[in-house]
Amino acid sequence: MRATRLVSLLLLLQLRGQLTALELAAHFDVSVRTIHRDVESLAAAGVPIEAVRGPAGGYRLAGGYRTKLTGLTGAEADALFVAPAPAAELGLGGVLANARLKVLAALPSELQERATRAERYFHLDARGWFRAEDTVPHLPAIASATWHEQRLRARYREGPRVVQRTLDPLGLVLKGGAWYLVARRSAGMRVYRVSRFVSVRVREEGFARPDDFDLPAYWQEWSRTFETSRSRVEVTLRASELALRQLPSDLRRGDGVYTVGFESLEDAFRELLKFGPDAEVLEPAELRERIAATAREVAGLYAVQRVR
């Protein structure tokens, strides 16, 4: 931990030029005394670091001391600092911050400007609007086991049941704000939604990762198969212009009646109920009656005079 901080301190001074002990302490969330000791350790190791006294003083590197990172183009510098992966969820937030600092400090000045400018102008937010996000407390452990090729012993929620699984984690995929684990078990390859893991224990034993396993290729093929095999429920309805603007764009039309596909009756019920009178379900009858019954319950609830 201290060794990492010493390297980061050195590169931060290289990047910023001169910083006070108080500024450095705030950056690394340590005491000013710790910063003084770190500076002494760097000086003892031969780093030409010097103290500037006075109100505008602080620490700086003497003699233009710096390292160089060669072979990086301007476009590569831009890309490196635009929309980093959600490393914090993987337990790598601090590691990524240190790595970015090291790269930025080692860049020539003209590429430093390009990298920091790209970060100011572009940002990626992969989350969806107005929906509950996955809770993934076990993601860092799963990511660590995946990286170090260690076997997992896990409890996983499959519908109403919780099952025990021994898994070889081969890769993680972030899709539409949800994390998925591609893993191998005795019954073969499978994809697991990370939010459904109830508990995870990383075992000491490792496993042999298949030499021919290609995560992007596997995910593409699995996604194609999953999408084509999903059971769909077709709902026939009448809808206002307001509802039509929010319903799937692939709906079929005919004489003011529309057919819309949903993954299940439950999804159709939850999606169409929010439109109220702007969407009238014609078929299937089961869905029409369920929405009608719910509307009657809501009307009855609001018809009762509440006494405070």
The mean pLDDT value for 82-87 works out to 54
DSSP category for residue 86: -
Instruction: Give the pLDDT confidence of 284-299 residue by residue, as tens digits.
Output: 999 999 999 999 998 8
pTM over 0.75, yes/no: no
Say how far apart CA 64 and CA 66 lie, in whole Å.
6
Query: Which carries the bigger pLDDT value, residue 96 or residue 178?
Result: 178
Reported as a pLDDT band with limits 50, 70 and 90, residue 90 is: low
Instruction: Give the pLDDT confidence of 207-250 residue by residue, as tens digits.
Output: 999 989 999 999 999 998 887 777 678 899 998 888 887 777 66
Burial 80-107 (b: 16+ CB within 10 A, else e): bbeebebbebbebeeeeebebbbbbbbb
Reported as a pLDDT band with limits 50, 70 and 90, residue 263 is: confident
Place of tokens 């159709």: 268
Q: What's residue 239's pLDDT?
A: 86
Which among 194, 196, 185, 184 has a CA at the least distance from the CA of 156? Answer: 196
Mean pLDDT over the full length of the chain: 81
Residues making up the chain, counted from first to last: 308
Q: What's residue 187's pLDDT?
A: 86
Say how far apart CA 130 and CA 84 lie, in whole Å.
23
